[in-house]
Every structure is written in C-alpha cells, then in structure tokens.
Structure 1
C-alpha cells in the first residue's frame, strides 16, 4: 500500500502510472439513490446533531459533506480504535482498528440524518468495496456508519436493507453499522484539505469528482464553498 503522504509529492505522470486515473466519482451509483423510507421525524426546531461516517480517505468524505446544505462543520478524524493510536502515522499501518472518518455537524431542521446517508451512498463512496476505496486499501479505509444512538442505528440498518432489497448496487453492501465509542480529530494539516489544496493531484482525481457528482445529483442540497471553519483541536 502506498501512503498518501508519498503520493502528495509524486509527479502527475507517476500518479497516472499507479492507476490513479479515477476521474469518475468513487460511488457505484450513477444516479441518486432513493431517499430512505425510514428517517428521523421532521423538526422545525433548529439545533445540532452529529453523524460519524467512514468511507475511504477522509479528505473526500469531508469535501462532500462540507457542500451539503444544513451541514455546519465537518471534522476529519479517526474512529474505531483507541485514543493512544489515533494518529495518522499509526492509523496508516492498518492495524489500529481505526477507520479514517468524518464527524458531520448538521442541523436536523435543514437536513435529516437519512438524507446524509442518501448522499453518503450516492456520492461519497462505493459501499461494495471491502477495506478499500479507489486507490487506497487497508482496514483504515473501510466503510462504516458509526451510530451515536438507537435512532441512527435504526435508520442506517433500514436504509441498507432498503438498498439491498432494491438491488441498488451490483454487489453486496459491505458497509458496517457499529456503535460509536469515540471520535478523535485528525491532525490539523488534514482539516479542510479539499479547500486548502484544490490542485493536489489526489484531490483532483479522486475527490473533486465526488463534489461535482453531489452538485449534479442533489442540486437542491448543494451549497458552494463557504468560509473555511477552523477546527479547534484539543
């Protein structure tokens, strides 16, 4: 496995030789998937809820959800392992139990948890790939829905069952649905990576197409770039 820290400094021709010509979005869905039949009840009371999702490199997942209306902040980080191994160099080895994840802060009066999952499966990843996404492979790139409560668990499980019954993908969905034990923010240089490094070849080939796919499939949900939110790290 080639680490992204190495890919950052490789010339473009070398990246193409490595097969990083993923100019199409990673998701296997060519059209927007149906909305979940089971979702959180609509609310008119504004507030903040949190979703934690993993599906490959956190740069791309972060970029997608930063462009969803109703999402106020997205933090790249790690979930699934212990605090003492929640560091990029260790997580990259693939044996810490962590998955590169994002913590999505959203207003349920503007966007529902189920809609976030609809975007997740339609745009952000290919949920049929086991322990990999695009050019990245290893358990740290597995797809996971880390639920924070029983309602999120119910919505996630129901939606995967719905997509499976509809045969929305050509292969079984391997996305895990597991309880969130803890989320650990990633290092500062990983935050807002898509916004701050738009010309990075990895971003150009792997993540920019996902944001474009979001705009195409969900125009009513899409929001253009906003001011970068500074993540307050502990």
Structure 2
C-alpha cells in the first residue's frame, strides 16, 4: 500500500519528496454539533480516521489536547503490530487515543474537527490513498456521555445535507487500545518532508488552522 511503501523507503533512507508539497486538504463543512458534551477533568477518547499519522498530527495541533497516541483498536494483542494490522485481516483499525481538557475543547468539537479536516465519514474501509478495513473511520466512545454525543452527531451529519453519500462511520464498542510502534509516534512532526506527510497530512493541519483558528495551536503536542 502507498503508506507502507513510503515507510519502507524512509527506513531505507530513500528520499520520498516526489509528491507535491502544496496539496489542499478536502475540507467538509461538518455541522456544529447540536449536542454538546458535558464533561469535566481530563478525558480520553479514541478515534479512527484512516492513517493514524494524520489523525494524530491534527489532534496534536488542537488546543486542549494533552496527549495523542497512535495505535490499534478492535483486535487482540496477538496481532497488534503494524505488519499484521496493515494486512487488513486482524480486525484492528489504525486509531489515536486522545487525552483532552474539556474546559478547552469539548468531545463534540473533536468530532467536528475529525469529520471536517481529517476523515470523510461516507467512505467504507478507506481514506485518502489507503484501502482496507484497518483504515476505516470509527468513533470509539469510552463513556456513556461520549457514546450519546457520538450517536447524536452521526445522526446530525446524516441530516445535514453536507455529504451526497450516506454516512458510513460507525460507533464501535471500546476494546483494548494497543500503542503503535515507537517509530509511528509523532511521525508527522518528526518527518515533515516525508512524501506521504507532505501530500496527505500537512494539508490537514493547514485546514485545521484555517477552519478552526480558535482551537489551533502551532506548537506540536507530543505524547
């Protein structure tokens, strides 16, 4: 797959800057959530939206997020490795565990960001150039409140008329989250000239800054 080809090239020290650096992200006018989350204290949520490099990068530039960690959700520890997950047969999704301060950014606002600048909620088992069930878009609530807000927002997106195709994203039951290998963590921040990052993920960060200026921060939050 394209991403894996880039990763292999990077590991071999091969330049991967052939793709254009000035691509634009596909930005959707995802509706302002009608139901606002009511939470206090640091909270944790899990989101899947295609390649975890871009999901992590966007949330790491979001004010109120204290940690964004790439990993795998939906399968077992026996095959929660990149080589196995990328084969598409382990039931995992590439996902990101986000810890956030709801006094700065609410859960519903994270959902709006996810479906505005990161993931197309109408696509099934694919995002951008990546194909396979492990690249599915999914919401994994960790609390009853998150589940209620997520279901409300999916219904709202379906009624909004923003997308021509039906909303395909699903709410998945929380299972154990397995952190991805160290070389995947903060990948976009550490590899800004990587071809995949330049073409697919840097535009998402620019779209976050342009469309959510009140929630954008230039400093990359690692963790």
> TM-score, normalization: structure 2?
0.91
Task: Give the match for residue 232 of structure 1.
Answer: none
Task: Give the match for residue 4 of structure 2.
Answer: 5
- Which whole-Å CA distance do the structure 2 matches of 1:86 and 1:124 have between them? 23
Deviation at 1:72, TM superposition (A): 0.6
CA shift digits 1:153-205 (9 cap, x unpaired):
11011011111111121111111101111111000000000100000000000
Task: Give the match for residue 122 of structure 2.
Answer: 128
Note if contact 2:47-2:95 (Cα within 8 Å) is conserved in structure 1: yes
Name the CA shift for 1:200/1:184 in 2 (closer, same or farther; >3 Å). Answer: same
Q: Secondary structure at the match of 1:101?
A: strand
> TM-score, normalization: structure 1?
0.87
Task: Give the match for residue 141 of structure 1.
Answer: 135
Name the CA shift for 1:146/1:137 in 2 (closer, same or farther; >3 Å). Answer: same
Note if contact 2:2-2:129 (Cα within 8 Å) is conserved in structure 1: no
Q: Secondary structure at the match of 2:198?
A: helix
Q: Quote the RMSD (CA, aligned, Å).
A: 1.9
Q: Secondary structure at the match of 1:5?
A: helix
Task: Give the match for residue 218 of structure 2.
Answer: 224
Correspondence for 1:117 among 100, 111, 114: 111
Name the CA shift for 1:227/1:143 in 2 (closer, same or farther; >3 Å). Answer: closer
Residues 1:171 and 2:158 aligned together: no
Unaligned runs of 5+ in 1: 230-234
Matches within 5 A, 1:14-163: 23-27=23-27, 29=28, 31=29, 33-41=30-38, 47-163=41-157
Q: Secondary structure at the match of 2:172?
A: strand
Unaligned runs of 5+ in 2: none
Name the CA shift for 1:100/1:22 in 2 (closer, same or farther; >3 Å). Answer: farther
- Which whole-Å CA distance do the structure 2 matches of 1:228 and 1:97 have between them? 27
Deviation at 1:110, TM superposition (A): 1.1
Q: Secondary structure at the match of 1:152?
A: helix
CA shift digits 1:10-61 (9 cap, x unpaired):
7658x65xxx99922144x1x4x222111212x6x5x210110001100000
- Which whole-Å CA distance do the structure 1 matches of 2:71 and 2:86 have between them? 12
Runs of 4+ in 1 over 3 A off after TM superposition: 10-13, 226-229
- Which whole-Å CA distance do the structure 1 matches of 2:73 and 2:26 have between them? 22
Note if contact 1:131-1:141 (Cα within 8 Å) is conserved in structure 2: yes
Q: Secondary structure at the match of 2:57?
A: helix
Note if contact 1:26-1:134 (Cα within 8 Å) is conserved in structure 2: no
Number of corresponding residues: 218
